[in-house]
Amino acid sequence: MVESDAQLNCSSCGDDVNGFVACRECKFPLCMSCLDAEIADQKRFCFQCGHEYYGHGADAETKRGHEEEERGEVTMEIVPVDEPQEDNNGHARNLSRVSITESETYSETVNPIWKDRVESWKGKRNKKKIEEKKIKKQIKVPMEQSMEENEFPESVLQPFSRVVPISRNKLSPYRTVIIIRLVILGFFFHYRITNPVDSAYGLWLTSIICEIWFAISWVLDQFPKWNPINREAFIDVLSARYENDGEDYGLAPVDFFVSTVDPLKEPPLITANTVLSILSVDYPVEKVSCYVSDDGASMLSFESLAETAEFARKWVPFCKKYLIEPRAPEFYFSQKIDYLKDKIQPSFVKERRAMKRDYEEYKVRINAMVAKAQKTPDEGWTMQDGTSWPGNNPRDHPGMIQVFLGNSGSRDIEGNILPRLVYVSREKRPGYQHHKKAGAMNALVRVSAVLTNSPYILNLDCDHYVNNSKAVREAMCFLMDPQVGGDVCYIQFPQRFDGIDYSDRYANRNIVFFDINMKGLDGIQGPMYVGTGCVFHRQALYGYSPPSLPTINKSSSTCSWLCCCGRSSKASSKEDEAEIRRQSKQEDLNAAIYNLREIENYDDYDRSLLMSQMSLEKTFGLSAVFIESTLVESGGILESADPSILIKEAIHVISCGYEEKTDWGKEIGWIYGSVTEDILTGFKMHCRGWRSLYCMPLRPAFKGSAPINLSDRLHQVLRWALGSVEIFLSRHCPLWYGWNGGRLKLLQRLAYINTIVYPFTSLPLVAYCSLPAICLLTGKFIIPTLSNIASIWFLSLFMSIIATSVLELRWSGVGIEDLWRNEQFWVIGGVSAHLFAVFQGFLKMLAGLDTNFTVTSKATDTDDEFSDLYIVKWTTLLIPPTTLLIVNLVGVVAGFSDALNSGYEAWGPLFGKVFFAMWVILHLYPFLKGLMGRQNRTPTIVILWSVLLASVFSLLWVKVDPFFNGNQTPISTQVCSSIDC
């Protein structure tokens, strides 16, 4: 019994019923408008008791209301609230819910008729949604009209984000110089080709081929940056729309993915800091779930995550109470700033000291685990309960899932719930292909779909922590904006790094790529996926096409015939037909949203849809629960689902044989076939018609650790380049894949082509860097004597190159030092890692020789901030650049020596050759400095060997004189011939 002055809410819409109840027998609370809608829909019986509603119309309803008021009280049965309704914008809103004690009362008094009615209502409602979506595809409702229907305040109706175009004063000169440079290149090559050097024809032809390739590479890199843009997100508007007084009214849930393999190379403390920064992110806790993939099945990772979950009970409330940034404790406590800034609470200093002490104790426990794990016992690891650790054999173990934290599980020290934290280690067995990181990410997609099924996924590497606690809200400003987010497959954040030396010797920050190239792509179809710091739309990962698809261009078959290496038009037309069939099939599959286990409860029409749904098993695998989750666009799982059943299903979807004979890794999820699965995955999404966005908040969203020593950096670049070569040699090569649908824009395709062909630039680059030394040693040159017109073209080309770079820096805000470092490492990586990647890629694809890459170590020496910078691990990657460097240095010495012996006339040609050689030496200077050791501390042995080699070379030069031309007559002979001796 509830007193009459208590506020009753309608069980359908949540509005106040003002004392009115729909059913006279059970007093079921239903407002007048909802009752009218029920009666208009031929629903004349009560949801709760099954009795017929009393009377129709407003008079009868008013009469019943007065009767209830005269009694002085209203009886109310507890009715469970079904799935949240959706408003006009497709976002869920909260309805009034009952407490735990009330739900227990309901379980005893519920009427079976209600269940049947609800099941019938849900089925019809789902059909109605499908019809409405089809209508919306044909008739687009203006945003203003949709907002007016919701009757929100004017401040809430503002857009969540906006595009900030580059000023015309900066962009117009930039585009003009690009066109001018293109014209100059045409005249330059006309001169170079029509003026061969007969005395050095081989060198001249080699230089022409190299220069043409460099020009093509420049076009592929430059024109995708034709229309760069910036974006701005309005977090306050998002909060005003979906939050009120700290209560959530529709923010979308997000599943975080963190992947790790080897805890000895990826220290558990770094992974723990990433997890802690996720758990304390500024977002509703019930909307955050963190999944940690341990692909090495290490007990050390498991135990460290258990300790992290316990420490999170203290760390999360501390972060949210004092709004600290960043929320990774290791990086927060190591900041060299005034931590009292903007912190006015008197208790902050005391609590911060206590928290720092707790964190130091937590680090001691983690480090003790790491020290213990250095030597594996002969009998394997044993858990605390005495049982053997299932992952003692990392290549042969069952799937493991452990939920450490959850909405109904552990709470923090202040009694608040914590985000969900789940440990996942997929099953591995001999004889199965596990596809490394891509396979682990796909396993997390399936596990999260079964347990939480959030509509959005944010993936991070284990060493990339959340540096900006509002980063998720920044992404939601784009994904939840009705004007923007409909066709967006992912939001990519730039990568930022800690622990890099001030001069960034090896271009670890990649500023040019993240602040110039990615902005340019954002103005076309969107930035590329770069492996971490990316928020995905789950439906895009499932291989679904965006809501608004461009029509298939009938003439695309002709285009594909011209552009796809001579494939026949007949094959292209077959691909068109296959694409159309796939789209039509997908529409039918999207309509089948019924439960596979209740097929006998539906009529013939529904059964036919279910039959089409069963074909989803060939795509997604044999899991009814997972298949159902893929068909729910807004995400979420049934509240009545048994957690134990869900855990069993989650174990099933991470089994090693689950992906067999499915489309996992081929059309859905992270795509297999390359070590750079990120580029391939984003490319497939763009080919389906999706677009991506680039989000650059003022405070970097995420920060990570970069391998800053030369050897690790080159191995990292080698892995990226090999992945590009693999894509080039696969069926997914942008040169011929995806032409039929007409959904990938031309400039976007050029960007992807540049991404997969850039390693091949190493071949002409090595040849071009060798030419200066050869010219100096042979006395020949690749350019004939310059005329006045030729000098103008050469000078114009150099000036246009400089102008393009300056204007690019002007609109992007990148510093000239970052640009120069990028150019230097382009040469260093090109003549080493890229060169090896080309040969290894062909060996892998043609001979089947696979290359196993080791995980880059993330550990650092705390005694010296940049101690890792000076480590040189000798590998074969160091041989080509070292050889080029020595050869060009020898060539410069030889050139000056020859000029001193030849006289005044030899100095003119010498300057052109020396300038060419110095260009190579300056670009390889960071490599030389890396070989020499610490900054300003060149090892003595290097100096001794340098002096010794220079002395030997000088003595040999005087004795041998290798540039003596036998055809020339010695000066003494010429003099004697002119004088009668």
Whether residue 429 has pLDDT greater than 80: yes
Whether residue 565 has pLDDT greater than 50: no
824 to 195, 219, 634, 928: CA distances (angstroms): 31, 20, 47, 12
Q: Which CATH architecture has domain 236-373+382-501+509-546+664-706?
A: Alpha-Beta Complex (3.90)
Res. 291 pLDDT band, cuts 50 70 90: very high
Name beta bridge partners: 402: 423
Whether residue 824 has pLDDT greater than 70: yes
Share of the chain above pLDDT 70, in %: 67
Reported as a single tens digit per residue, the pLDDT across 737-770 is: 888 777 889 999 999 999 999 999 999 999 999 8
Catalytic residue among 255, 295, 481, 522: 295
Q: What is the 3-state secondary structure (H, E, C) of 885-933?
A: HHHHHHHHHHHHHHHHHHCHHHHHHHHHHHHHHHHHHHHCHHHHHHHHC
Query: Which residues, in sequence order, are CB contacts of 185 under 8 Å at separation 6+?
Result: 215, 797
909 to 604, 697, 898, 903, 916: CA distances (angstroms): 88, 52, 11, 12, 11
Distance CA 91, CA 248 (A): 12
Q: Is the dihedral of CA 892, 929, 767, 788 positive or negative?
A: negative
**How much is the average pLDDT of 874-880?**
77
Distance CA 888, CA 896 (A): 12
Q: Per the structure block, which two tokens stand in for 468?
A: 């900006």
pTM of the model: 0.75
**How much is the average pLDDT of 23-43?**
69
Res. 309 pLDDT band, cuts 50 70 90: very high
Reported as a single tens digit per residue, the pLDDT across 438-449 is: 999 999 999 999
Whether 898 has a binding-site annotation, put simply, is: no
Residue whose tokens read 């998720």: 472
Angle at 274 between CA 273 and CA 280, to 5 degrees: 85
Distance CA 4, CA 742 (A): 64
Q: How many CB atoms lie within 10 A of CB 430?
A: 8
DSSP string of 221-270, one letter each residue: HHGGGSS-EEEEE-HHHHHHHHEETTEESSPPPEEEEEEES-TTTS-HHH
Mean pLDDT over the full length of the chain: 75
Whether residue 254 has pLDDT greater than 80: yes
Whether residue 244 has pLDDT greater than 80: no
Whether residue 539 has pLDDT greater than 70: yes
**How much is the average pLDDT of 472-478?**
93
Whether 663 has a binding-site annotation, put simply, is: no
Whether 576 has a binding-site annotation, put simply, is: no
Whether residue 4 has pLDDT greater than 80: no
**How much is the average pLDDT of 35-46?**
66
User: Is cis: bond before 398, omega within 30 of 0?
Assistant: no
944 to 893, 939, 940, 947, 951: CA distances (angstroms): 19, 9, 6, 5, 11
- Asked whether 280 and 469 are in contact (CB, 8 A), the reply is yes
Of 407-416, 605-614, 641-650, which gets the smallest average pLDDT?
605-614
Q: Per the structure block, which two tokens stand in for 40?
A: 């208009």
The pLDDT assigned to 100 comes to 28
Q: If you count DSSP H runs as helices and E runs as strands, how many of each does the chain have, helices first?
A: 35, 17
678 is a catalytic site residue: yes
The pLDDT assigned to 952 comes to 60
Does residue 337 or residue 416 have the better pLDDT? 416
Name beta bridge partners: 163: 231
**How much is the average pLDDT of 800-821?**
90
412 is a catalytic site residue: no
Name beta bridge partners: 3: 73
Does residue 520 or residue 250 have the better pLDDT? 520
Residue whose tokens read 């179809």: 525
Angle at 133 between CA 131 and CA 139, to 5 degrees: 105
Residue whose tokens read 């190591």: 334
441 to 248, 425, 670, 671, 918: CA distances (angstroms): 29, 11, 7, 10, 46
**How much is the average pLDDT of 461-471?**
92
Give the best-scoring range by mean pLDDT among 29-33, 83-87, 288-292: 288-292
- Asked whether 28 and 47 are in contact (CB, 8 A), the reply is yes
Distance CA 386, CA 729 (A): 50
Res. 606 pLDDT band, cuts 50 70 90: low
The pLDDT assigned to 858 comes to 56
The pLDDT assigned to 266 comes to 87
Reported as a single tens digit per residue, the pLDDT across 951-969 is: 565 555 555 554 444 444 4
Q: How many CB atoms lie within 10 A of CB 375?
A: 7
| Strand, helix or coil for residue 465 | strand
Name beta bridge partners: 52: 45
Whether residue 621 has pLDDT greater than 70: yes
Name beta bridge partners: 801: none
**How much is the average pLDDT of 638-664?**
84
**How much is the average pLDDT of 528-556?**
77
The pLDDT assigned to 579 comes to 52
Does residue 560 or residue 488 have the better pLDDT? 488
Reported as a single tens digit per residue, the pLDDT across 803-812 is: 999 999 999 8
Residue whose tokens read 């401040």: 155
In 3D, which of 294, 292, 295 has the Cα closest to residue 312?
A: 292
Catalytic residue among 412, 463, 678, 868: 678
**How much is the average pLDDT of 372-398?**
85
The pLDDT assigned to 263 comes to 87
Whether residue 49 has pLDDT greater than 70: no
Q: What are the CB-based long-range contacts (under 8 Å, 24+) for 918-923?
A: 918/892, 919/772, 920/769, 920/772, 920/827, 920/884, 920/885, 920/888, 921/885, 921/888, 921/889, 921/892, 922/824, 923/823, 923/824, 923/826, 923/827, 923/828
Of 315-319, 799-803, 947-951, which gets the smallest average pLDDT?
947-951
Distance CA 914, CA 926 (A): 20
Name beta bridge partners: 456: 254, 537
Res. 553 pLDDT band, cuts 50 70 90: very low
Whether residue 179 has pLDDT greater than 70: yes
Whether residue 922 has pLDDT greater than 70: yes
Q: Per the structure block, which two tokens stand in for 726?
A: 């693999």
Whether residue 180 has pLDDT greater than 80: yes
Res. 96 pLDDT band, cuts 50 70 90: very low
Q: What are the CB-based long-range contacts (under 8 Å, 24+) for 921-924?
A: 921/885, 921/888, 921/889, 921/892, 922/824, 923/823, 923/824, 923/826, 923/827, 923/828, 924/824, 924/827, 924/828, 924/881, 924/884, 924/885
The pLDDT assigned to 563 comes to 37
The pLDDT assigned to 867 comes to 54
Reported as a single tens digit per residue, the pLDDT across 207-216 is: 999 999 999 9
Query: Which residues, in sequence order, are CB contacts of 614 under 8 Å at separation 6+?
Result: 596
User: Where are any strands of DSSP class E within 479-538?
Assistant: 488-492, 496-498, 534-537
Name beta bridge partners: 231: 163
- Asked whether 655 and 450 are in contact (CB, 8 A), the reply is no
Res. 388 pLDDT band, cuts 50 70 90: confident
Does residue 416 or residue 567 have the better pLDDT? 416
- Asked whether 705 and 270 are in contact (CB, 8 A), the reply is yes
Whether 461 has a binding-site annotation, put simply, is: yes
Angle at 548 between CA 543 and CA 549, to 5 degrees: 65
Reported as a single tens digit per residue, the pLDDT across 331-352 is: 999 888 777 766 667 788 888 8
Of 592-596, 836-840, 886-890, which gets the smallest average pLDDT?
592-596
Of 87-96, 370-379, 388-397, which gets the smallest average pLDDT?
87-96
Share of the chain above pLDDT 90, in %: 30
- Asked whether 435 and 428 are in contact (CB, 8 A), the reply is no
Distance CA 964, CA 511 (A): 49
